[in-house]
Chain A
C-alpha cells in the first residue's frame, strides 16, 4: 500500500480551464523551501506513524512545473533524507505529477526528468481533439508581456532529447476592448511525442463536462492516434449536467465502443469508461468500503497546513471552509481525521444508492461531497452524477457484450483473458 503525500507548490497556472475545481487559483501563494523542508522532516521523523510500504510524493498546483526549481530541490532533499535516515521508503517511492504539459519541454523540466526518470510518474492532460481540448483548457487572460528579446518565438536546441521544431509561443493577447480565448491544445500536443518517448505506456487524464460530450468519441480515438494507449476519462463530479446529457453521453460511448472493438483497438489500448466491474449491485456489508482515499493521503499547502486531500484546501472549495487537520508546527490532529477513516459507502449514501442495481463503479469525490453537502459533513454523498453513471453502465454493458461475442466467434476469448494482465508491463 502506498501513502500519497501531495505538495501544493503553487496556486498559479498558465491556464484558466473552465471546469477547474480550483476556484481560488492565484499567483501569490507559492510554497517556500522552508515550509517544504519542515513538512518533509515532520513526515520522515515519524516512520512508525507513516508506516505504509511505499510513498508517492505528489506535486500539484495550479501547474506544478511552474515551480520546477523548488520541486527539484524538494526531490533532492527527499532522496538524501530517505537514504540518510535509512527510511524504508527509499526502496519504494515515486514522484508524481499531473501537468498541463505546456512547460514539459523546457530545459529545467527535462533536466529534472533525466535526473529522476526511474522514479517518475508524469501525466500530461490532453483532453482529446483540438476542438474539445480548446473548449475548456484555455490560456489565462493576462497583461501584455514586457519587451524582451527572449519573448516571442523560442526555438529549442537540437539534441538527443529535444525536437528542433518544437516551438513555444506565448499566448496571443486580446485586442483592446476584446477578450478572445485561446486554447492550449497546440502548446500541449507538441510535447506529447517527447513525453511518450520518455514514458512509454503513460496515461492521460481527460475530463468531461457538459459541453464536451459531443466530442468524446473523436477525442479518445484522437488520443490513441497520438500514441497514448491508456486514456483515463471521467465526468466531473460537480453539478454541471443538463437534461439530455446522459443520452448524448451514452450515444458517444456506444459509438466509441464500436470503433474500439471493430478496429481491434482493445488489444493494446485502454479506456477507463469500459470496465468489467461496473454496473453491478453491491452488498451492504461486503462492498461497504469508501470509494475515495481522502484521509489516507496527506496534502500540504504553502503555509504548511495539512489536509486530508487537496480538495479540502480553501482554494478548492466553493462554499465550505477548509478542512485543516494540522500543520507542520503542531503536527496532525488525529481527531480531525477520524471522520475520514470511518467513512464507508452505506453511511454516506441515500437508500436508493445503497440498493441501486447498477451501483458498482459509481464514483464520488469526498471533497466535492463536502463542498456540496447541506451541512458541515463528509457523510453526505453527492449524486448529481447518477444519470451519467447509469448511461455509462448501459454503454459499458454494450461494449462487453459485443466484445465477448466477437472474441468467442473468433475463438480468441481465452487468448484475450491471458493477455489482459500484461497490458501494463513493468520489467527489469
Chain B
C-alpha cells in the first residue's frame, strides 16, 4: 500500500540513494505541479518527502511546501531545518543530532573508519550508501567483512560510553523481524520535476520514458505485484531484512525488477552477518538492546543458491 510520496523539487536535487544527479542542470518543478502533487498526496493519505537542490527556492515554493506536513531532505551546506542531510563526502561537517546520508565506495569507507566513528557520536542516525556494489567481486568479501567488523567494534565502544547508535549497515538488522526495504513502487512513489510519477528518482534520471503516470491521468503502475516481496523468489526466502531491495539496481544488473544481483545479495548478507557480530559483541559487553532479536548464524551469502537447491 502506498504510504510515501517523494517530490524531487529540481533536477539537481540531492541524491539520497544509489542514483547520480551530478551531471544534471537546474530544472525546478512547476509551481502548479508542486501544488497538484501535494493535493495528490493529501487525498491519497501519503507522507511527503521533499528533496531539495543546493540553492534557495523561491518564496512561493517555500510557502506551498510549508502548507503540508512533510519531511525535508537537503544537501549539506543548504540544510537549515532539514530532517535528513545528504553529506558532501567524508570531509564534510556533520550537524549534531541529525539524520545524515553519505555516499561512499567500500575503499573510501575502509579508509575513513575514524571519521565514521566520530560521526556516530554526533548524528542521530547515519545511512551509508555504497556506490560500488555493482563492482563487488567475491574476492572483496573478506575485506568488506573486515571493514564491517571494525565499524561494529567502534559501535560497541559508543554503547559502552552510553551513546545509542543508529547505522543502517549494522544496527537496523538488530531490531528487524521482517523485510524493511525501500518499497519503490509499492509503498513509495516519486513525483519528478517533469510532473510525472516514477517508481523512484533513479528511474527518472535514467530515462523519462520510464514514468508510471502523471498528475493529470494519475498513477499507472503495471505489474505492481512484481514490486512486492511475495513475488520476488529470492528475496521472500531471505532474512537479510536490512537489505534495501533496490529495484532499480535489480533492473540494471539482472534486467528484472524482482530479482537482485549476486553482488547485492552478498553485500546484504555480509552486513547481516556483521550485525550478528555486533550483537554478540554487545552481549559480551553486557549490553542488551530492547527489542533486539537473535540473528542466526549463516554461511550462505547468496539466497539464490538456497532457492536453486530447492529446485
Contacts and interface: CB of A to CB of B under 8 A. Distances in A.
Interface in A374-411: 374-380
A339 interface: yes
Contacts of B253: 335-336
Contacts of B164: none
A347 interface: yes
A376 B210 CA distance: 11
B93 interface: no
Given A336-B255, A338-B256, A339-B254, 11 more contacts: A335-B254, A335-B261, A338-B254, A338-B259, A338-B260, A339-B258, A342-B233, A342-B234, A342-B259, A375-B223, A377-B256
Interface stretch (B3-11, B43-51, B57-65, B303-311): B303-311
Contacts of B160: none
Q: Which of A289, A373, A376, A379 is packed against the most chain B CB atoms within 10 Å?
A: A379
Contacts of B124: none
A378 B231 contact: no
Contacts of A341: 304, 308, 311
A185 interface: no
Interface residues of B, number: 22
A343 B307 CA distance: 10
A336 B262 CA distance: 10
A348 B58 CA distance: 48
A253 to B, nearest CB: 33
Contacts of A374: 222-223
A338 B223 contact: no
A323 interface: yes
A306 to B, nearest CB: 13
Contact of A339 (B222, B256, B262): B256
A378 B308 contact: no
B223 A335 contact: no
Nearest to A337: B254
Interface of B: 222-223, 226, 231, 233-234, 251, 253-263, 304, 307-308, 311
A375 B256 CA distance: 9
Interface of A: 289, 323, 334-336, 338-339, 341-344, 347, 373-380
B304 A379 contact: no
A252 to B, nearest CB: 35
A44 to B, nearest CB: 24
A338 B251 contact: no
28 contacts: A335-B253, A335-B262, A335-B263, A336-B255, A338-B254, A338-B256, A339-B256, A341-B304, A341-B308, A341-B311, A342-B259, A342-B304, A342-B307, A347-B231, A347-B233, A347-B258, A374-B223, A375-B222, A375-B223, A376-B255, A376-B256, A377-B226, A377-B256, A377-B258, A379-B226, A379-B231, A380-B223, A380-B226
Nearest to B233: A342
A379 B311 CA distance: 17
A418 B226 CA distance: 46
